Structure 1
Amino acid sequence: MSVSVLLGFLGLCVLLSVTPGPDTFLVLRYALAGRRPAIASGIGSALGGIGWAIVVAAGVAALLEQSATTYRVVKVIGGIYLVYLGIRTLLARRRANTATTAEAPRSVTARSAFAAGLLSTLLNPKVGLFYLAVLPQFLATPTFLHTLTLGAIESAVAAVEMVSLALAAARLAGLLRRERVRDRLERLSAGVLAALGIGTVASAA
């Protein structure tokens, strides 16, 4: 792979990483619980991209492109999971209000945040189709190793962007934890996640 092709791919990865998506709102949501959960969520999302890169490199993702039924099933599952994350965020906010505390829910841990980020990406078939459609354009010989290498580069760029976002949000933790700001941000992130999930399920139907 030439330097110019690699730089072109890196530029595309950067552009995609700064485009807001479910992973962005997950990081912001977990930033309310602290720096570690926010970073864990971002890293989990980035590693989910590695999972899709492995699937694409093995050729399995072609099934999603060829089978409309399989694609719809995966898409519906991913949409339902996003709706679940949105509803869980709203319920957590309600419990916090009931307890009259501005502290984050105790159930929010780095491990659960990591799992949420990982599953959010793994259950998003658009990531797999993106790899399937885009990666071969940058490969002279689309071997397993070369495809996986590009997937790892994309995931590394995404990880840097997500961790940077998590750190920036964590630095604003004092502002984010103000009751009014926290309430509005959690409602916004929950609404966006739920809307994305409902849109995903609707488009699959």
Structure 2
Amino acid sequence: MTLSLLLSFVGLCVLLSITPGPDSFLVLRFSIVDARPGIAAAVGSALGGIVWAVVVAAGVAALLEQSAMAYRTLKVVGGIYLVYLGIRALIEHRKQRGASAQVSGQPSAGEATSIRSAFAAGLVSCMFNPKVGLFYLAVLPQFLTDVTFANTLALGAIESTIAAVEMILLALLAARAVAMLRRPRVRDRLEQISAAILAALGIGTAASAA
């Protein structure tokens, strides 16, 4: 792979990373509570991208392109999962609405669980998004002079790293912005809107499979 192709691929990844998508809204949703869950969701999503890169490098993703049933099934499952995340976010928001703030210092078990849940949500959301696999399948070979498992995986790792950096910055900025808006009513409204967006994205994803 030449330097010019590598730089072109990096530029494309940067442009795509700033385009809002389900993973970005997922990171925003978790960042409203705190930056750490948002970062965990970003890392999980990036790891999901690497999983897709491995799948594409192994040639398995070609099945999605050839099998409409497999593609639709994966889209429906991914859409249902996003709807589930949105509904769960609304339920958790209501449960935590009257909870008192934790004493600063030691993280609570609930906070640790939230970080683990955010990481898992980012990972699963990306893995059940067939568009990620098809993107790798269609785009990565265009930037490779020699299509091998190692080269394909390397480009996938580059794309996932760029996406992770962008989403981590998004999580930090979102958490900082919410921290500046200390009004509980504003924060409650942001959490409700982000959860509703996730659910809407999930319904749209599942419906598009039809």
TM-score normalised by the chain length of structure 1: 0.93
SS of residue matched to 1:172: helix
Alpha-carbon distance in structure 1 between the residues aligned to 2:149 and 2:31: 36
Please name the residue that 1:109 is paired with.
Answer: 114
Deviations for 1:77-99, whole angstroms, at most 9, x for unmatched residues?
000000001111111122233x2
SS of residue matched to 1:20: coil
Alpha-carbon distance in structure 2 between the residues aligned to 1:166 and 1:177: 17
Please point out which of 145, 149, 158 is paired with 1:144.
149
Q: How far 1:37 sits from its partner (Å)? A: 1.1
Deviations for 1:98-156, whole angstroms, at most 9, x for unmatched residues?
x26577x9365211111111111001001000100100111111110000000000001
Q: How far 1:32 sits from its partner (Å)? A: 2.3
Please name the residue that 1:4 is paired with.
Answer: 4
- Comparing 55-64 with 159-168, greater Cα deviation is found at 159-168
Please name the residue that 1:92 is paired with.
Answer: 92
Counterparts in 2 of 1:148 and 1:102: CA distance versus 1, 3 Å: same
Q: Structure 2 regions of 5+ residues with no counterpart?
A: 103-108
What is the RMSD computed on CA atoms of the aligned residues? 1.9
Q: Structure 1 regions of 5+ residues with no counterpart?
A: none
TM-score normalised by the chain length of structure 2: 0.91
Summarize the alignment of residues 4-23 of structure 1 with structure 2, pairs less than 5 Å apart: 4-23=4-23
Summarize the alignment of residues 25-44 of structure 1 with structure 2, pairs less than 5 Å apart: 25-44=25-44
Please point out which of 97, 115, 123 is paired with 1:118.
123
Alpha-carbon distance in structure 1 between the residues aligned to 2:181 and 2:38: 13
**1:127 lines up with 2:132 in the alignment:** yes
Contact 2:178/2:187 (8 A) holds in 1: no
SS of residue matched to 2:10: helix
The amino acid that maps onto 1:123 is: F
Detail structure 1 runs of 4+ shifted over 6 Å in the superposition: none
Contact 2:49/2:156 (8 A) holds in 1: yes
Alpha-carbon distance in structure 2 between the residues aligned to 1:177 and 1:48: 33
Contact 2:31/2:174 (8 A) holds in 1: yes
Alpha-carbon distance in structure 1 between the residues aligned to 2:101 and 2:83: 24
SS of residue matched to 2:60: coil
